[in-house]
Structure 1
């Protein structure tokens, strides 16, 4: 896998905890076991755009007031949606 920062081929898939501000700005949550790319060459650890969009869309579509301060990526994605899709994403 190629690192999007240094273009090395030493990047690998992994997981990490990330901290995300809720769309209403009231607080941030910790999302554990979030898919990421880890590059041994430059040391970057980052989420691919598809994962970022998936998290942001899910947070727009659920009742975030019911979320704990810490949950796993899989738990976040399993929260029932209030809307079918994110109408703000074109």
Structure 2
């Protein structure tokens, strides 16, 4: 499940709490044992400054109003990715 999660750390997102989102994402990945499967990176402006803390799950643009909302969305996206991987593995079997 190679995944890249990119969190904007530009000034607008920083003011809205992007550092806290990055920290929470790192905690979630560690707790789930996914540190080797998910690349967590910070990035400057994702060009959606009015939408909240902006981040990407692979190439999907996402925005979250709170750290808890971001965590919920991340967990849902990770679950979807795991399910896709399972389905693909079953097809190959």
TM score, norm. by length of structure 1? 0.28
Larger-Rg structure: 1
TM-score by length of 2: 0.28
Q: Which structure has the higher relative contact order (CA within 8 Å, separation 6+)? A: 2
The structure with more strand, counted as a fraction of residues: 1
